[in-house]
Amino acid sequence: MLRITHLIKRYGNGEPVLKDLNLEVPDESLVSIIGASGAGKSTLLRCINRLVEPTSGSIELNGQELTTLKRDELRKSRRRIGMIFQGFNLVDRLTVMENVQCGRLGYIPYWRAALRRYPAEDIERAFHLMERVGIAKYANKRADELSGGERQRVGVVRALMQNPEILLADEPTASLDPVSSRQIMELLQNLADELKLPVLINIHNVAEAKEFTRRIVGMRFGRLIFDGKPSDLDDDA
Ligand code: ADP
Ligand code: ADP
């Protein structure tokens, strides 16, 4: 469970870009955050993984406060957070298996990932997850030989290899064609259910959010202006 209370973020001396934001994401639930560019969606995800420092407020993951973690505790806490990116962030010249193992290893330099001999149990676990998302047959292909949808599945497995307590995805479908987007959204929804994880997705495509999500949160100018079922969302919102 993720619980955000009274979160405020301002960059420098500017206007806050997150204004007293409150949000709970229970396990087994996927929430899509929609909102125009500049609404604060990326900043919200970055506050959770502490790529940016929240100005004030609280972010609790399974009861532990994340905003007050010290530098040396941050690394450990980032391992609890699985990240999925718009541009996939794979290492092109590594194989799918090597990319996936990077998740567990905490993103070590690619040449070390390539040279590494992985414990059998990690290989087995990776195959299990790759089979789950349908990319096991590509394990020994280079990442840049795959299609966009397949590359995003590699990104998903890499995140899952961390045994995360939450998945955060920043525009995970924005680089994909409609068919692959649908498959990735369905996959993330199913993973939330199967793995009993909270999943938080930034998505600018409102139609996609409405089609694939049970709960949508709308942001505007750093505030939540909607939180509910897709069917309750006004079409002009
Ligand atoms: P979204 O993801 O919804 O497009 P962002 O979180 O990226 O929104 O941006 C919210 C606001 O914060 C925007 O006005 C943006 O210009 C500003 N912003 C984002 N990152 C920074 C930064 N590192 N420094 C200063 N302003 C930033
Ligand atoms: P994206 O939306 O593709 O994730 P960014 O998060 O980098 O892109 O940027 C989102 C918004 O935040 C943009 O409007 C950008 O100009 C602004 N922004 C990002 N970093 C900074 C920064 N260091 N200072 C001021 N504005 C920033």
Cα torsion 150, 216, 103, 173: sign: positive
Query: Could you tell me the pTM of the whole model?
Result: 0.87
Distance 131 CA to ligand 1 centre (A): 37
Q: How many CB atoms neighbour CB 128 within 10 A? A: 12
* Residue 118 pLDDT level (bands cut at 50, 70, 90): confident
| 66 — pLDDT class (breaks 50, 70, 90) | very high
| 215: amino acid identity, one letter | R
Which of 220 and 79 is assigned the larger pLDDT? 220
Q: What is the pLDDT of residue 204?
A: 87
Q: What is the average pLDDT value for the chain, to the nearest integer?
A: 92
**Residue 11 Cβ < 6 Å to ligand 1:** yes
CA of 10 to the centre of ligand 1 (A): 9
Task: From 15, 42, 53, give the residue whose CB has the most ligand 1 atoms within 8 Å, as the site to mutate.
Answer: 42
- Could you report the per-residue pLDDT of 175-187, keeping only the tens digit for each? 999 999 999 999 9
Percentage of residues in the chain having pLDDT higher than 70 = 94
> Does 220 have pLDDT greater than 90?
yes
Residue 114: is its pLDDT beyond 70? no
